[in-house]
């Protein structure tokens, strides 16, 4: 009999691909998102899980507006810390595995080499602090948990850097202006489907705790923007700039590179290099636009 997965945040950028990939892998999948479920309510969360009785709960929901978190501290902690705690209580009560998604923002970005799961977390932003507290609350409540720290996420659904850069490049190109992109922050662009495949390749193993889970290799935002613009065939003048020249409400880590140490140690790391991940994303986009044209 197929195992049951409950995916929370099923309409989000990662959650929608998680639903599709889990179904393709033969699981019986139920998806819920806000407002059908509000994970900040313990009663709603626990009773939903006890009704569905999933073998696995995958939490893709979060308060992801990093800059907004700086002014909406209570909301950020409610969704990113209390919410995961409620899901952990629900998982513990049902004997389910809880899969949770966390972030590179739990680190301050000052390290001069890739971060491993053993590095100490000293988040700088409210978003990072709230996500770290979410990790800690899960660890204190639920025995069977897998927490995947991901970074620089993009996919075919939702808002992300790829879409923002294309829009900005088109606008600048029309105005005959230069597009400036930050070149002193490094990380690993990671396609949603790569994360989904890695999660599905890990959930059958009786391994618990925190896993770093990004594509391989790294680049700067400027490098990634160059690749996006070239692939999109947009003619625009692109220039590197510094973080100081591009002030934002929430501080960003300069080094966001995560090493998938634990996945590699157990021989179950299947993520591609980020360039290959981006090629897969472009192919998926092409396929989706062909299906869309055919269905019109
Ligand atoms: N995006 C990145 O670059 C990145 C990087 C590192 C880690 N992550 C992590 O990856 C995960 C997925 O990110 P994503 O980009 O897919 O996020 P997303 O597109 O913003 O999706 C998050 C989903 O959670 C829902 N949600 C918000 N509050 C909720 C609540 N109280 N109860 C239930 N659902 C709620 C949202 O609904 P509404 O739309 O209605 O608010 C949305 O559908 C998150 O844990 C995030 O922290 C993301």
146-171 residue pLDDT tens = 999 999 999 999 899 999 999 999 99
Full DSSP string of 207-259: --EEEE---BS-EEHHHHHHHHHHHHT---EEEEE-GGGS--SS---SB--B-
For ligand 1, atom 39, the nearest C-alpha belongs to: 12
pLDDT at residue 283, rounded to an integer = 97
Distance of alpha carbon 155 from its chain centroid, rounded? 10
**Is residue 296 predicted with pLDDT exceeding 90?**
no
**Is residue 251 predicted with pLDDT exceeding 70?**
yes
Mean pLDDT of 256-278: 98
Pocket test for ligand 1, best of 8, 9, 79 (most atoms within 8 A of CB): 9
| Catalytic residue (one of 27, 127, 154, 191) | 127
Burial tier of 161 (Cβ tally within 10 Å: 0-12, 13-18, 19+): middle
For ligand 1, atom 44, the nearest C-alpha belongs to: 62
pTM, whole model, 2 decimals? 0.97
Domain count, the chain: 1
Ligand 1 contact, 17 CB (< 6 A): no
Ligand 1 contact, 41 CB (< 6 A): no
pLDDT at residue 295, rounded to an integer = 74
Q: Tens digits of per-residue pLDDT, 221-238?
A: 999 999 999 999 999 999
Mean pLDDT of 79-108: 98
Average pLDDT, the chain: 97
* Rounded distance from Cα 127 to ligand 1 centre (Å): 12
Range of the domain at 227: 4-295
pLDDT at residue 293, rounded to an integer = 78
Percent of the chain with pLDDT over 90: 96
pLDDT at residue 42, rounded to an integer = 98
Residue reference for tokens 């952990």: 88
Ligand 1 contact, 150 CB (< 6 A): yes
pLDDT band at 289 (very low <50, low <70, confident <90, very high): confident
**Is residue 294 predicted with pLDDT exceeding 80?**
no
Domain harbouring 255, CATH code: 3.40.50.720
**Is residue 255 predicted with pLDDT exceeding 90?**
yes
For ligand 1, atom 15, the nearest C-alpha belongs to: 13
Ligand 1 contact, 40 CB (< 6 A): yes
Mean pLDDT of 19-29: 98
Task: Judge whether 208 counts as a catalytic residue.
Answer: no
Full DSSP string of 100-127: EEEEGGGS-S--SS-B-TTSPP---SHH
**Is residue 247 predicted with pLDDT exceeding 90?**
no
Nearest C-alpha neighbor of 241 from the set 285, 292, 184: 184
């Amino acid at each position: 009999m197929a195992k049951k997965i409950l995916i929370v945040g099923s309409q989000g950028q990662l959650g929608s691909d998680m639903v599709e990939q889990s179904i393709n892998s033969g699981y019986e999948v139920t998806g819920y998102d806000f407002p059908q479920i509000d994970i900040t309510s313990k009663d709603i969360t626990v009773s939903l899980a006890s009704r569905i009785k999933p073998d696995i709960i995958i939490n893709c929901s979060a308060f992801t507006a990093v800059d907004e978190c700086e002014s909406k501290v209570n909301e950020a902690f409610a969704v990113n810390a209390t919410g995961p705690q409620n899901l952990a209580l629900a998982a513990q009560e049902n004997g389910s595995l809880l899969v949770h998604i966390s972030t590179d923002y739990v680190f301050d970005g000052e390290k001069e080499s890739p971060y491993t799961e053993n590095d100490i977390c000293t988040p700088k932003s409210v978003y990072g602090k709230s996500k770290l507290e979410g990790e800690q609350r899960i660890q204190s409540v639920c025995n069977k948990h897998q927490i995947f720290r991901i970074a620089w996420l993009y996919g075919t659904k939702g808002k992300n850097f790829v879409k923002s850069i294309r829009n900005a490049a088109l606008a600048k190109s029309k105005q005959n202006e230069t597009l400036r992109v930050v070149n002193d922050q490094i990380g690993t662009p990671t396609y949603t489907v790569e994360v989904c495949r890695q999660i599905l390749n890990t959930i059958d193993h009786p391994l618990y705790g925190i896993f770093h889970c990004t594509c391989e290799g790294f680049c700067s935002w400027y490098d990634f923007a160059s690749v996006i613009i070239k692939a999109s065939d947009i003619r625009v003048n692109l220039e590197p700039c510094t973080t100081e020249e591009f002030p934002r409400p929430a501080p960003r880590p300069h080094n966001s590179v995560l090493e998938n140490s634990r996945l590699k140690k157990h021989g179950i790391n299947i993520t591609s290099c980020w360039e290959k991940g981006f090629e897969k994303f472009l192919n998926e986009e092409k396929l989706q636009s062909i299906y869309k044209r055919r269905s019109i």
